Amino acid sequence: MHITDIILKKRSGEALTKEEIDFFIKGYVDGSIPDYQASALLMAIWFNGMNPQETTDLTLSMVASGDTVDLSGIDGIKVDKHSTGGVADTTTLVAAPLVAACGGRVAKMSGRGLGHTGGTLDKLESIPGLSIEQPMEIFQKLVNTIGLSVIGQTGNLVPADKKLYALRDVTVTVDNMSLIAGSIMSKKIASGADAIVLDVKTGSGAFMKTAEDSVELAKSMVEIGKLAGRATVALVTDMNQPLGNAVGNALEVQEAIEILRGEHPGDLKDVAFALSAWMLRLAGLADDEAAAMKMLTNALESGAALDALSRMIEAQGGDPKICEDTSKLPRAGKLISVKAERDGWISEMDNTEIGISAMLLGAGRQTKADVIDPAVGLWMKKRIGEQVAVGDELAVFHVNEEKNLDEALKRFKAAVKISGEKPDKLPLIYHVVE
Amino acid sequence: MHITDIILKKRSGEALTKEEIDFFIKGYVDGSIPDYQASALLMAIWFNGMNPQETTDLTLSMVASGDTVDLSGIDGIKVDKHSTGGVADTTTLVAAPLVAACGGRVAKMSGRGLGHTGGTLDKLESIPGLSIEQPMEIFQKLVNTIGLSVIGQTGNLVPADKKLYALRDVTVTVDNMSLIAGSIMSKKIASGADAIVLDVKTGSGAFMKTAEDSVELAKSMVEIGKLAGRATVALVTDMNQPLGNAVGNALEVQEAIEILRGEHPGDLKDVAFALSAWMLRLAGLADDEAAAMKMLTNALESGAALDALSRMIEAQGGDPKICEDTSKLPRAGKLISVKAERDGWISEMDNTEIGISAMLLGAGRQTKADVIDPAVGLWMKKRIGEQVAVGDELAVFHVNEEKNLDEALKRFKAAVKISGEKPDKLPLIYHVVE
């Protein structure tokens, strides 16, 4: 088999066989296929796509490139969730404790934020003392006793994805449905969960800007999950504005705690509940949505969900008192109010730009090497559809380092559009792919 | 400027600016742009193409990547020819002496053969003693005195093409019109000729299989030549069968000499005359085709053309006696007659396969490192449209090493189709792009 024949075949628009895909992934990981041939193939895939069978073959080939996590030490059905990434997207910190409090088993390996999107590990690390590096025995023990643990990826999981993603990143081949689906699902499958709930974001702050693309990605990933023997559901949810109000690590932890205390209704809570309900259903703990919602409401109102989060924080070395008093979280030195400069309705947000504003304040990373300031970020005060008058507060910036403050403010203001007409209401959940 | 922006732009189907193309070529040659980003861009170019302006910018950027040949030591208009490559395509050895004998100045830097195609340097080196490595002073002196010299490429001409071609070869991005045109024309322009006659082959033995593609390539190259200030004409000529009868290095020299002696009419002579006529016209030595043809016929019949070849051979260290007695050329040890196995008309040839048959006998190179046997090859006895009976001779194989003989015979026989119906006559010259 020759890699040039495989490139030619894909360039001609033909489907690759499982053997050809295996040959490529193995050869690329072991170095016998060089970067320049891999990038030519990736660009041909970008142009001609991959069908569902090819996408599944690619995913399983990537899974086979490294270790897989053995979660057999955990009793019951292990259920995982994954978001394709967004702004103020704190659902894991709400959903995982809720599901754990309902008897679910959430053994979650999370990731870090990059660019305009946040990452659960960074958020957790804003909790004083908490460590996301835990040995597998502790991880499994916590899931067995508390019902949840969130740690960083361990072991040599999916080295093919690490190598391919780094190449895609510098060859403009990231934004392909099959490559995205393969990258996400290979990591989920290798992480060992029995059931997977996917939150596919759509809109101005998501990688997929249109609902159609997001639904297509959702279908592709559900198909892969099914073929790989994992119960998989995907929700396509809105990312045309920050999902919660908080954008920034400690601020997002604070918001999650406020939700688990029952103090904070809104879109973030609603999406977290929708995801949690599916997690309970896939885990066999609830028969339908109504039953799941009832269990989740109980877990919230009884304080059991907040208690699960608190126990996990403590078990991973963090200070559980933040659950009672969020002022113990890191705080920025300066608060700056950003105000509306015209009357009207909030009609639209460039949500990627809002994420970048927070990143510029130090809440995120421009490159992987950047260091995050856990305290900084911004707190949204208005949502799309709300009416504002000149001088109304749109957001509060939480600032330490002021180096990029002007640019952050400028980009934020340009990102929030105020119109003379009331906009149509955005859907929150566009589609569910079962 | 970032290479990823350039890749994204081309991937989106937009035209690149001269500055972006320069940035790419400079960066690729100096190593600041790695192979894997160059190959992603090449594949995006393969899918989305380049417009005429981009193609010219690419060509001139490649010319600027290295040295250019200074032919100012040669009096008069220097005229060059170039073939896109074919089988039994010996036009240079016929046309260059003809044009020289008519007062033209042919300072030609030629190339070697690869795969199924032959190269003029390999053919010349089959002449005992001849060297294609000559200092620039000698080269220019020969062109001034005899009217022609053919040597190998000297100096650091178009390093961008060398590096890019090697990458295209292993990333399945060779067959793109703009990249081919840029590769050919950058070398022609850097070689310093004032006027260029291009012979764009079309058909089963050519890189371009259809006349439409060949005409498009021809137009693209003529456009580049014009924008670069070189008088350029392109002829699209047939390569659906070997152009001459001889396929193999010494055999092709023999056939060229026979043509210059006036002993060998046929397609090779006709194409060589057509190319030569344009060379004379672009050099300002003939006003129209009729005048050019008359001059060429005189040069042939008077023996002046053969004399010019003979003088060049002698001046470059070769034995000029081969022009009188071609049996002094290297000869293969064994002649094998290949016969028709059915009655009918020769209807079609897979000319690439015929070239590969000769290559397998040792007349060509599978890889650049292979060593050629100058004596071997094959001599065609029939052309498309001729009627044959079982047992009629189709070709004679000239063989030394018999290692690949069976495969060569098998491929040759499969390549020559005999049909029950007389085929339509093929055009010889499809199109002229002025």
Q: Give the Cα separation of A132 and A121 in Å (integer).
A: 7
- In angstroms, the Cα distances linking B48 to A43, A69, A174, B15 are 12, 43, 18, 9
Q: Where are the alpha helices (DSSP H) in A261-318?
A: 267-282, 289-301, 304-315
B2 contact residues in A (CB cutoff 8 A): none
Contact state of B171 with A40 under an 8 Å Cβ cutoff = yes
Q: Give the Cα separation of A405 and B344 in Å (integer).
A: 85
Residue with tokens 């559900």: A222
Residue with tokens 């700056």: A336
Of A123, A187, A281, A311, the active-site residue reads: A187
Residue with tokens 């300031």: A373
One CATH from 3.90.1170.30, 3.40.50.1360, 3.30.70.260, 3.30.565.10 for A331-419 = 3.90.1170.30
The mean per-residue pLDDT over the stretch B191-199 comes to 95
Q: Give the Cα separation of B243 and B205 in Å (integer).
A: 10
Residue B220's pLDDT is what?
A: 94
Q: Which residues contact B222 (CB under 8 A, 6 or more apart)?
A: B198, B232, B233, B234, B433, B434
Contact call for residues B25 and B162 (beta carbons, < 8 A):
no
Contact state of B40 with A172 under an 8 Å Cβ cutoff = yes
Q: Give the Cα separation of B120 and B355 in Å (integer).
A: 15
A36 CA to chain B: closest CA distance, Å? 4
B11 CA to chain A: closest CA distance, Å? 8
pLDDT in tens, B67-123: 999 999 998 999 999 999 999 999 999 999 999 999 999 999 998 887 888 899 999
Up-side HSE of residue B407: CA atoms within 13 Å toward CB? 13
From B10, which residue of chain A is nearest by alpha-carbon distance?
Answer: A172
- B22 as an active site residue: the answer is no
B79-158+177-323 in CATH: which number? 3.40.1030.10
Model confidence band, residue B293 (pLDDT cutoffs 50, 70, 90): very high
Q: Give the Cα separation of B268 and B251 in Å (integer).
A: 14
Strands of the sheet containing B387-388, edge to edge, are: B387-388, B344-349, B416-419
The mean per-residue pLDDT over the stretch B343-355 comes to 97
The mean per-residue pLDDT over the stretch B124-136 comes to 95
Nearest to B35 among A7, A36, A42 (CB): A36
Print the SS3 string covering chain B. CCHHHHHHHHHCCCCCCHHHHHHHHHHHHHCCCCHHHHHHHHHHHHHHCCCHHHHHHHHHHHHCCCECCCCCCCCCCEEEEEECCCCCCCHHHHHHHHHHHCCCEEEEEECCCCCCCCCHHHHHHCCCCCCCCCCHHHHHHHHHHCCEEEEECCCCECHHHHHHHHHHHHHCCCCCHHHHHHHHHHHHHHCCCCEEEEEEEECCCCCCCCHHHHHHHHHHHHHHHHHCCCEEEEEEEECCCCCCCEECHHHHHHHHHHHHCCCCCCHHHHHHHHHHHHHHHHCCCCCCHHHHHHHHHHHHHCCHHHHHHHHHHHHCCCCHHHHCCHHHCCCCCEEEEEECCCCEEEEEECHHHHHHHHHHHHHCCCCCCCCCCCCCEEEECCCCCCEECCCCEEEEEEECCCCCHHHHHHHHHHHEEEECCCCCCCCCEEEEEC
- The alpha carbon of residue B54 and the mean position of all alpha carbons in its chain are separated, in whole angstroms, by 25
Q: Which residues contact A5 (CB under 8 A, 6 or more apart)?
A: none
- In angstroms, the Cα distances linking B343 to B382, B387, B391, B412 are 13, 8, 9, 17
Total residues found in chain B within this entry: 434
The mean per-residue pLDDT over the stretch B393-398 comes to 98
The mean per-residue pLDDT over the stretch B374-400 comes to 98
From A48, which residue of chain B is nearest by alpha-carbon distance?
Answer: B47
Of B61, B183, B186, B214, the active-site residue reads: B183
Of B10, B78, B81, B82, the active-site residue reads: B82
B42 CA to chain A: closest CA distance, Å? 8
Residue to substitute from B2, B171, B173, B179, interface A, most A β-carbons within 10 A: B171
B166 contact residues in A (CB cutoff 8 A): none
Contact state of B37 with A170 under an 8 Å Cβ cutoff = yes
Parts of chain A belonging to CATH 3.40.1030.10: 79-158+177-323
The mean per-residue pLDDT over the stretch B371-396 comes to 97
Residues of A with CB under 8 A from a CB of B: 4, 7-8, 11, 34-40, 42-44, 46-47, 167, 170-173
Contact state of A172 with B34 under an 8 Å Cβ cutoff = no
Q: Give the Cα separation of B195 and A260 in Å (integer).
A: 80
From B34, which residue of chain A is nearest by alpha-carbon distance?
Answer: A36
Residues of B with CB under 8 A from a CB of A: 4, 7-8, 11, 34-40, 42-44, 46-47, 167, 170-173
Of A78, A112, A163, A168, the active-site residue reads: A168
Parts of chain A belonging to CATH 3.90.1170.30: 331-419
What secondary structure letter does DSSP report for A210?
S
A47 contact residues in B (CB cutoff 8 A): 43-44, 47
B170 contact residues in A (CB cutoff 8 A): 4, 36-37
Q: Enumerate residue ranges in chain A where pLDDT < 70.
A: none
What mean pLDDT value characterizes chain B?
Answer: 95
A372 CA to chain B: closest CA distance, Å? 26
Q: Give the Cα separation of B245 and B267 in Å (integer).
A: 9
- ipTM of this complex prediction, to 2 decimal places: 0.84
pLDDT in tens, B144-192: 999 999 999 877 899 999 999 999 989 999 989 999 999 999 999 999 9
- In angstroms, the Cα distances linking A133 to A61, A71, B280 are 27, 17, 79
Does an H or E element contain A203, and which? none
For residue B310, is pLDDT > 90?
A: yes
Total residues found in chain A within this entry: 434
B47 contact residues in A (CB cutoff 8 A): 43-44, 47
Contact state of A170 with B39 under an 8 Å Cβ cutoff = no
Instruction: Indicate the pairing of strand A195-202 with strand A79-83.
Output: parallel
- B82 as an active site residue: the answer is yes
Contact call for residues B151 and B93 (beta carbons, < 8 A):
no
Residue A91's pLDDT is what?
A: 97
Contact state of B40 with A171 under an 8 Å Cβ cutoff = yes
Residue A45's pLDDT is what?
A: 98
Nearest to B40 among A4, A34, A40 (CB): A40
Strands of the sheet containing A387-388, edge to edge, are: A387-388, A344-349, A416-419
Whose CA is closest to A176, among A404, A359, A10? A10
Q: Give the Cα separation of B378 and B1 in Å (integer).
A: 54
Residue A111's pLDDT is what?
A: 83
Tally A–B CB contacts below 8 A: 68
A33 contact residues in B (CB cutoff 8 A): none
Residue to substitute from A171, A179, A367, interface B, most B β-carbons within 10 A: A171
- A187 as an active site residue: the answer is yes
B45 CA to chain A: closest CA distance, Å? 10
**Three-state DSSP state, A234:** strand
Q: Give the Cα separation of A280 and A197 in Å (integer).
A: 10
Q: Which CATH class is domain B3-49?
A: mainly alpha
Whose CA is closest to B197, among B253, B163, B237, B139? B237
Amino acid at residue number B401: E
